[in-house]
């Protein structure tokens, strides 16, 4: 549940970058969209867990966290996944065809990534492309409520897409042991943990560079460029993870640390946008 709520930051910032000044009507629309987004992200997690249950049971790091361990039957998890997808689309319908199309795009990415027989989770590079597309669509779900899906929206969305894909590459490196055991050809299994982490770091670097460029171009408030000063800390912590052998524990520690950095970046964005939101 905590992961579902944390990931609402992406569409929430889409809202903040496009809403203009607050009004009761705009806030009601935003609340409806965020409720739909919660259902979408919850569907993604439940559907992935439902699809990958047999592998998770063989993974020493995941077995005790499966829904079976909580007493939930696999069939019930499948029904819940379907219900969440339908509920998400139903909540988006009052917002118009654009949000529904974006929601369907996110569901399509989820299906391609997790569904049995398709299962792009086990297709190197393709799985990261799905994360890039899904991350961008999730941002645009919020951004498109109040503005057309213009070049500015896609550019800012690319920042969130890059961070999402980069973070998942770190997650793949952390889950290398279990995925290799289950013959799931993630990027980490196919190319190795070191290569996967180098790709993750490269995408994070691109995200920081893009955000700085957006700030200097005026697409986002100029002070957001100061966020780039946080990257050396992430670079150092990544070096520490390499030095420690890219173990499950060291990568989990790295994830916790860089998530704090992006929490700071989010706070900087909020501080910069706050003056523009008050009527």
For residue 237, give both structure tokens. Answer: 């912590």
Give the dihedral sign, CA 156/252/81/190: positive
pLDDT band at residue 52 under the 50/70/90 scheme: confident
pLDDT band at residue 69 under the 50/70/90 scheme: low
Q: What is the structure's pLDDT at 202?
A: 97
- Confidence check: pLDDT of 253 > 80: yes
For residue 263, give both structure tokens. Answer: 């929490």
Of 255, 231, 247, which is closest to residue 193 (Cα–Cα)?
247
The string of pLDDT tens digits covering residues 80-127 is 999 999 999 999 999 999 999 999 999 999 999 998 888 899 999 999
DSSP conformation class of 21: S
Q: Per the structure, how many domains does the chain have? A: 1
- Confidence check: pLDDT of 24 > 80: yes
When computed from its CA atoms, the radius of gyration of the chain, rounded to whole angstroms, is 19
Least reliable range by pLDDT among 127-141, 171-185, 261-275:
171-185
Rounded CA separation 88/99 (Å): 10
CA 225 to chain centre: 22
Rounded CA separation 144/152 (Å): 11
Q: In the predicted model, what is the mean pLDDT of residues 240-259?
A: 96
Cα 85-32-26 angle, rounded to 5 deg:
150
Rounded CA separation 181/66 (Å): 17
DSSP conformation class of 74: H
Contacts of 57 (CB under 8 A, 6+ apart): 63, 66, 68
User: Phi/psi class of residue 235: alpha, beta or left (left: φ > 0; alpha: ψ in -120 to 50)?
Assistant: alpha
- Confidence check: pLDDT of 56 > 70: no
Contacts of 187 (CB under 8 A, 6+ apart): 124, 125, 127, 128, 169, 172, 195, 196, 199
Contacts of 75 (CB under 8 A, 6+ apart): none
Answer yes or no: are the C-beta atoms of 185 and 123 closer than 8 Å: yes
The string of pLDDT tens digits covering residues 169-222 is 999 999 999 889 888 899 999 999 999 999 999 999 999 999 999 999 999 999
CATH number at residue 76: 1.10.600
Q: What is the structure's pLDDT at 63?
A: 66
Rounded CA separation 102/98 (Å): 6
Rounded CA separation 253/85 (Å): 32
Q: What is the structure's pLDDT at 78?
A: 87
pLDDT band at residue 77 under the 50/70/90 scheme: confident
Between the CA of residue 265 and those of 33, 128, 135, 143, 167, what are the distances in Å? 23, 23, 17, 18, 15
Of 75, 92, 77, which is closest to residue 38 (Cα–Cα)?
92
- Confidence check: pLDDT of 72 > 80: no
What residues make up the domain containing 228?
Answer: 2-277
For residue 66, give both structure tokens. Answer: 């499966």
Q: In this structure, what is the dihedral angle of CA atoms 221, 143, 205, 254, given to the nearest 10 degrees?
A: 110
Q: What is the structure's pLDDT at 109?
A: 96
Least reliable range by pLDDT among 37-41, 48-52, 63-67, 242-246:
63-67
Q: What is the structure's pLDDT at 112?
A: 95
What percent of the chain is predicted at pLDDT more than 90? 77
């Amino acid at each position: 549940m905590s992961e579902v709520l944390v990931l609402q930051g992406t569409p929430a910032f889409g809202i903040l970058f496009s809403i203009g000044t607050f009004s009761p009507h705009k806030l009601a629309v935003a609340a409806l969209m965020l409720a739909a987004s919660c259902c979408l992200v919850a569907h993604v997690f439940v559907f992935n867990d439902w699809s990958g249950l047999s592998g998770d049971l063989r993974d020493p790091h995941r077995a005790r966290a499966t829904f079976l361990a909580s007493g939930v039957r696999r069939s019930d998890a499948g029904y819940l996944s379907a219900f969440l997808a339908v509920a998400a689309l139903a909540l988006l319908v009052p917002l118009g065809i654009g949000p529904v199309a974006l929601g369907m795009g996110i569901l399509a990415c989820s299906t391609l990534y997790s569904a049995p027989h398709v299962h792009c989770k086990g297709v190197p590079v393709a799985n990261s492309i799905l994360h890039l597309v899904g991350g961008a669509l999730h941002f645009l779900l919020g951004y498109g409520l109040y503005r057309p899906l213009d070049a500015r929206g896609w550019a800012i969305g690319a920042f969130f897409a890059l961070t999402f894909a980069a973070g998942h590459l770190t997650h793949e490196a952390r889950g290398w042991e279990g995925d290799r055991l289950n013959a799931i050809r993630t990027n980490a299994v196919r190319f190795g943990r070191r290569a996967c982490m180098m790709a993750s770091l490269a995408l994070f670097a691109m995200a920081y560079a893009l955000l700085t460029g957006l700030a200097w171009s005026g697409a986002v408030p100029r002070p957001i460029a100061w966020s780039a000063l946080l990257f050396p800390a992430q670079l150092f912590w990544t070096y520490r993870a390499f030095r420690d052998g890219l173990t499950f524990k060291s990568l989990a520690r790295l994830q916790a640390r860089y998530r704090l950095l992006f929490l700071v970046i989010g706070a900087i964005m909020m501080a910069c946008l706050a003056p523009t939101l008050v009527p």
